[in-house]
Chain A
């Protein structure tokens, strides 16, 4: 699911730090922004826009970080509003709801671990590609 690949060139220390920060940004924002799922996306988007003119390695990793946050956003938003409707609107707690919450918690934890792993390795100058998100980043981010 997460593969270390050759990127074609060895990024310098500055590039590695910037690329690694794009993942850390989403992690910090995730912790600060809970339970509002939009906060981490906005933070990652700001970081992405700020690095649009950066080197390919930095842009590519900012794109991968942003894409991963984009996937989490709709999933968490549904969970967030579903929970609010239960708290304030007398909607019943159903097996579907609990199943959904467990699913998104598992997905978030998986992404959290993957993000930490990627941030550490990217800081070392290694190129880490995620399954699906990596291929999508290649389509969006051109040299």
Chain B
């Protein structure tokens, strides 16, 4: 028995020793894993966006773009987030929807812009999507849906329409993870408050959607994919009360209405 125990101790010792020695080598410095996954994410983001763009036309309106960039920059600059990395695309689609793609692409449908009464409401949705990006929810969600191996093969150029459809579906239509949504909402409130945008507008937007859920059912992609809107409204208002901020408007009401008319 003693002999076996001794042998076991030696075996365990050898394993730990080999692991210890191998761990001394600085692999992470030799291979930049962050860069590796970043380049994969770039390729995957581009492939998915190109696929989505085939269906809906991209809107190239300077006045609209400038206000979206203004919102993005205000949120990012006040929250130490790199603005230039976030690429906003507006697509012509009547659905009330916005979503983030890998490599920090953000897609906003014209239906959502038209539905937002104020730019502050739209800021809430943008802040929510930025929170998904900052917390790496998008890649995690896609990995969960289609598997890590397929993602890697996609980055290598192996893509089929079926896989792309599945990914787009997972980003735009499939039910989201409740914990991730709650986290994104709480980050969004913080981002908005730091950018001196009243998070109450975001709560109003959610509340209005929850009230009109039945009449707008076919257009409510964003809300139907997110869990329990009424609870979220209450939670956003609760979180808002904890924040300290000074409201600064984004653009005046007339200008916002004019931009909406021009879409």
Contact = CB atoms under 8 A, between A and B. Distances in A.
Interface residues of A, number: 22
Interface string B173-217: 000000000000000000000000000000000000000000000
A132 B7 contact: yes
B102 to A, nearest CB: 14
Interface stretch (A51-59, A87-95, A120-128): A87-95
B15 A95 contact: no
Interface stretch (A3-11, A25-33, A41-49, A100-108): A100-108
A103 B4 contact: no
Interface in A60-106: 71, 75, 87-88, 90, 92-96, 98-100, 102-103, 106
B18 A88 contact: no
A87 B26 CA distance: 21
Residue among A75, A87, A90, A131 with max Cβ neighbours from chain B (10 Å)? A87
Residue among B10, B27, B33, B136 with max Cβ neighbours from chain A (10 Å)? B27
Contacts of B172: none
B1 A139 contact: yes
Nearest to B135: A90
Contacts of A93: 28, 33
Contacts of A135: 3-4, 7
Interface residues of B, number: 25
Interface string B6-26: 011011000100111111111
A136 B136 CA distance: 48
Q: Tell me whether chain B's interface is mostly helix, strand or loop, or mixed.
A: helix
A101 B4 CA distance: 26
A131 B144 CA distance: 42
Residue among A90, A96, A103 with max Cβ neighbours from chain B (10 Å)? A103
A103 B18 contact: yes
A99 B7 contact: no
A96 B26 CA distance: 9
B4 A100 contact: no
Contacts of B23: 95-96, 98-100
B19 A90 contact: no
Given A87-B143, A92-B33, A136-B7, 8 more contacts: A87-B148, A95-B23, A96-B19, A98-B22, A98-B23, A99-B23, A99-B27, A131-B7
Closest 4 CB pairs of A and B: A99-B23, A99-B22, A132-B7, A98-B27
27 contacts: A71-B11, A87-B143, A88-B144, A90-B136, A93-B33, A95-B23, A95-B25, A95-B26, A96-B23, A98-B23, A98-B27, A98-B28, A99-B19, A99-B20, A99-B21, A99-B22, A99-B23, A99-B27, A100-B23, A103-B19, A103-B22, A131-B7, A132-B7, A132-B8, A135-B3, A135-B4, A139-B1
